[in-house]
Amino acid sequence: EIDRKDIRIGDTVLVQRAGDVIPEVVKVIEHKRTGTERKFSMPAHCPACGSPVTKPENEAVYRCLNLQCPAKIKESIRHFASRRAMDIEGLGDKLIDQLVDQGLVKNFADIYTLTKDQLASLDRMADKSAGNVLASIQKSKKAGLERLLYALGIRHVGEHTARILVQHFKSLNKLLQASRYDLLDIHEIGPEVSESIVQFFSDEKNRLLLQRLQEAGVSCEPAAPLAADTRLSGKTFVFTGTLKKMTRAEAEQLVVARGGRASGSVSKKTDFVVAGDDPGSKYEKARKLGVTILTEEDFLELLK
C-alpha cells in the first residue's frame, strides 16, 4: 500500500475517514514535497530487541515474535493498566518503562508483587506517589473478570467480547474448560476469536500467569451486578451509531451491570435499539421488526 501510493516519510497526505479509528491515506500531495522525503522500508528487525520480525500469512502487520521483547512487554502492561482494563491509576508510560527496563516487571502478575521500596527506589518516585501507585494496584484487584479478560490482551478479545464471555460462562474456570465448539456456540463469537481464546488458555505460561494473578488476590469473579433493575433486567439492548455521553462499550456495561444483555445485532429477540448519531443498518432492521427504538436521551432516562 505504501509502495503503491508512493508515500514517503515527511510527505503531506490527503486522508479520509474510513472504518472506525485509523484514517485512510488517499494520496500524497506531491506539490508539497520539499525533496527531503525518504522512502520507507519495513524494518527486518524489531527496533526494540533486534529479533527478526515476521508477517504471518493472511495478516496485514509485521510482528516481533520474541516473547521477552521489552517493547511488547511494555505495551501489554500499558494495556493491562489502562483505564478500561484494570484501571491502575499512576502506572503510566514512564513508570512502566522503568519497571520493565529494570526487570522488576516481566508480566502482569509481577505488578502485584511490587513493594513500596522497589517503587520508591525508581527515578522521580517520591514515597507518597509510591504509596499511591500501590494503592491503585491494590484497588485493581477488584476490577472483576470482565475487565481482567480484556486486560489480558488476548487477540480479538475486546471489551465487548470479554463481557459476552463472562455473561455466558460466569466463571473463569468454566471458560478455561471451554472447547472451540463451546465457544463457537455463542452468538457473536466467530472461528477466529474462539481459536485465539483456546490458544491463549491452552498455553501453559498463560495458565501459570492466571494462577499467579489469582494467588495475588486478583478477582476472577464477574463484577458484582448492581441491584437488579426490573426495567433493564433480562432485556436485550443493541446500540447503533455514535453516542455523545459515552462510548458504546460503556453503555453496554451499564446495561449488563443492571442485569440486561447487550448484543451486537438486531433480531426479533431484541427489546431495545438505542440509536446515536448516524445509526447504521441496525436502525433500519429495528424499524422493520418493530423493535422499540430509543434515543440516547431516552436511554439515559431509563437508567435513572
Q: Which single residue is written with the C-alpha cell 511490587?
A: 114
Asked whether position 104 contacts Zn ion by CB under 5 A, the answer is no
Binding span for Zn ion by CB under 5 A among 66-74, 81-89, 103-111, 155-163: 66-74
Asked whether position 64 contacts Zn ion by CB under 5 A, the answer is yes
Measured CA angle at 165 (ends 275, 246), to 5 deg: 30
The minimum distance between CB 43 and Zn ion, in angstroms, equals 10
DSSP 8-state secondary structure symbol assigned to residue 242: B
The minimum distance between CB 52 and Zn ion, in angstroms, equals 9
Q: Which single residue is written with the C-alpha cell 511494555?
A: 74
The minimum distance between CB 20 and Zn ion, in angstroms, equals 27
Residue whose CB is less far from Zn ion, 73 or 254: 73
Per the CB < 8 A criterion, the answer to whether 244 and 218 are in contact is no
The only residue of 7, 28, 49, 114 in contact with Zn ion, by rule CB under 5 A: 49
Cell numbers standing for residue 242: 455514535
The minimum distance between CB 184 and Zn ion, in angstroms, equals 33
Single out the residue of 269, 265, 262, 267 nearest to residue 164, CA to CA.
262
Helices (H), the chain: 70-81, 93-101, 108-111, 116-120, 127-140, 145-151, 159-169, 172-177, 180-184, 191-202, 204-215, 248-257, 281-289, 296-303
Residue whose CB is less far from Zn ion, 49 or 293: 49
Q: Which amino acid is at 76?
A: S
Cell numbers standing for residue 205: 505460561
Q: How many residues bind Zn ion (CB under 5 A)?
A: 7
The minimum distance between CB 208 and Zn ion, in angstroms, equals 22
CA distance 227 to 255: 12
The only residue of 7, 48, 114, 293 in contact with Zn ion, by rule CB under 5 A: 48
The helix/strand/coil state of 304 is coil
Scanning residues 270 to 289, which ones bind Zn ion (CB under 5 A)?
Answer: none
Residue whose CB is less far from Zn ion, 51 or 98: 51
Per the CB < 8 A criterion, the answer to whether 132 and 140 are in contact is no
Asked whether position 46 contacts Zn ion by CB under 5 A, the answer is yes
Asked whether position 184 contacts Zn ion by CB under 5 A, the answer is no
Residue whose CB is less far from Zn ion, 33 or 63: 63
The only residue of 11, 69, 86, 162 in contact with Zn ion, by rule CB under 5 A: 69
Cell numbers standing for residue 42: 519495513
CA distance 150 to 162: 6
Residue whose CB is less far from Zn ion, 49 or 220: 49
Asked whether position 53 contacts Zn ion by CB under 5 A, the answer is no
Positions that interact with Zn ion (CB under 5 A):
46, 48-49, 51, 64, 66, 69
